Amino acid sequence: MGYQVTTAGSGLYVRRLPASHKLVSTFAIGALLSHAALASAAESDAKLGVGLELGGGTMLSSYQRNMLGYDKDIQTTLSGSYRVIPPLDIRLDLRTWWFPSSQGFGRATLIGAGLRYWFVDGDVGAALVEGTLGAGVNGSNLRFMFDAAAGYAFHTSPSLDVGPVFRYGQVAAGGSDDPYSAKFWSLGFLAIYRIGGQEPLRASPSAPPGEPTSAQSPEKAVTEKLVDRDGDGVDDLHDACPDVPKGPKANPDQPGCPDGDFDKDGVVDHEDLCPAEPSGLHPDPAKKGCPLADRDGDSVPDIDDHCPDKAGAPSPDPKRNGCPGLAKVEAGKIQIKTPVFFSSNKDKILPKSFPVLSAVADALRVIPNIKRVDVQGHTDTQGKAERNLDLSQRRADSVRTWLVSHGVEPERLEAHGFGGERPVATNKTSKGRASNRRVEFLIIDPPPVAGVVRPE
């Protein structure tokens, strides 16, 4: 059997009371409050919360401590809350403070309403402050009673927040016959269950003009809680790149962001063992994103290079592969050491150029990763520009035809003529004009290196 304690000037009273009656009365009133809150928010479940709190502390007022022996306190709370706007809840509280003493139990029960404000919200949790005003029930007496609290709630699940809370309470004095206010505090544990799941504490973006708001449409309200501007399945609250879709390869370190490819070799950085070095024409099968070693830089990997320390040309002959020859792969081109010669003012290839064209064909056969090459014809500026453009196109076509007839797949070759539009030397001397009359082999797949221009 417990006691309720009544003493003049305390607002608290004493009489023998069964312990079961105390618990039943507390939770019966709490059930009524929760039922009322549920009814008022039936159409907006995610805004509704039910809270429980248990704490302990001490009496602060000297009269109650010294005269009545109320040193310690135990505090229990049952509450219902409704989110008015994302950071602000309104609450109905049933809170009872118990004060054990040698004479029995003192009790002060607050039945009231208040506000709870959330701030410093993050993925882990949010801070809160709250205040409550209402009637303090002390046996047959009623007094004005209020309390205030501050705490931090951890987001343990989409529906449940739990954490510590510090609370201060006060029962007002009752007049000349009851001149002493009772003041007390507790430190406890708060749990808030959000029915229907947690609603973001930050405000959702405004609906575009012409679209219904969440108040007009329950479906829209659910959508606004999970805004996803870039449509990649990661809501904006958790998307580190809310305006850029994550794409087929997401960055594991930045939710909602695509994985990068710094060296542009088609291998995303998180899988690339050489993220700053392209895998090139000869990827290393044992090291994803890395090229095979090629210490002389002639595009023939050392493992196949018969002359690994001398830059050379690809060749189907293992004893000549990678050794100096008439062609080499370099800087996005198949470079040739001797020009391609044609009959004067014609597109007929002279036989003395067959060896260098054979070297080009060999390079293409040995390096199948060169998927497409543009055969480019150029002339000097002597004569009419239209005629030079036509001649350069016909010569480029002739070289392409020769390579196809010597085993190069036609789909790997394009042909373009530029006339005298792209000189590499002066056209004022015979030597310069000879340099400008040329055929070049530009690698366009894989893409050319920076600075090399592919024709439109």
Indicate if 47 and 189 belong to the same structural domain.
Answer: yes
Residue 202 lies in a domain: no
Q: What is the mean pLDDT of residues 22-27?
A: 44
Q: Which residue, 194, 217, 232, sits at the end of a domain? A: 194
Binned at pLDDT 50, 70 and 90, residue 425 comes out as: very high
Half-sphere exposure of 65 (CA within 13 A, CB side): 11
What is the structure's pLDDT at 139?
67
Stated length of the chain? 456
Residue 264 lies in a domain: no
Bridge partners of 112? 93, 134
What is the structure's pLDDT at 224?
47
Residue 14 has pLDDT above 70, yes or no: no
What is the structure's pLDDT at 23?
41
The count of structural domains within the chain is 2
Indicate if 184 and 333 belong to the same structural domain.
Answer: no
Residue 41 has pLDDT above 50, yes or no: no
Residue 280: left (phi > 0), alpha (psi -120 to 50), or beta?
A: left
What is the structure's pLDDT at 198?
57
End-to-end CA distance of the chain: 97
Greater pLDDT, 63 or 425: 425
Greater pLDDT, 280 or 202: 280
Phi (first) and psi of residue 193, to 5 degrees = -100, 120
pTM over 0.85: no
Residue 270 lies in a domain: no
Residue 237 lies in a domain: no
Per the listing, tokens 């927040």 go with 161
Distance CA 439, CA 423 (A): 12
Give rounded-to-5 percent helix, strand, coil for the chain.
Answer: 20, 35, 45
Q: What is the percentage of the chain residues whose pLDDT exceeds 70? A: 80
What is the structure's pLDDT at 373?
96
The whole domain housing 417 covers 327-445
Determine the Cα angle at 112 with ends 96 and 145, to 5°: 70
Residue 114 lies in a domain: yes
Distance CA 377, CA 398 (A): 10
Residue 456 has pLDDT above 90, yes or no: no
* Both structure tokens of 395: 């010569």
Binned at pLDDT 50, 70 and 90, residue 33 comes out as: very low
The CATH number of whichever domain residue 429 belongs to comes to: 3.30.1330.60
Per the listing, tokens 């792209």 go with 422
What is the structure's pLDDT at 401?
96
The mean pLDDT of the chain is 81
Residue 70 has pLDDT above 50, yes or no: yes
Distance CA 116, CA 131 (A): 7
What is the structure's pLDDT at 243?
87
Residue 45 has pLDDT above 60, yes or no: no
Per the listing, tokens 């009524």 go with 32
What is the structure's pLDDT at 81?
93
Distance CA 273, CA 451 (A): 27
What is the structure's pLDDT at 225?
58
- Please write the tens of the pLDDT for every residue from 403-413: 999 999 999 99
Residue 63 lies in a domain: yes
Greater pLDDT, 253 or 154: 154
Q: What is the mean pLDDT of residues 436-451?
A: 80
Dihedral of CA 373/379/385/387: which sign? negative
What is the structure's pLDDT at 453?
39
Q: Which residue, 194, 227, 243, sits at the end of a domain? A: 194
Bridge partners of 150? 129, 166
Residue 169 lies in a domain: yes
Residue 359 lies in a domain: yes
* Both structure tokens of 29: 């009133």
Greater pLDDT, 15 or 68: 68
Distance CA 400, CA 396 (A): 6
Distance CA 25, CA 201 (A): 34
Residue 353 has pLDDT above 70, yes or no: yes
Q: Which residue, 153, 170, 194, sits at the end of a domain? A: 194
The CATH number of whichever domain residue 124 belongs to comes to: 2.40.160.20
Q: What is the mean pLDDT of residues 259-288?
A: 84
Choose the weakest-confidence range: 65-69, 341-345, 362-366: 65-69
Distance CA 231, CA 247 (A): 10
Q: What is the mean pLDDT of residues 378-387?
A: 94
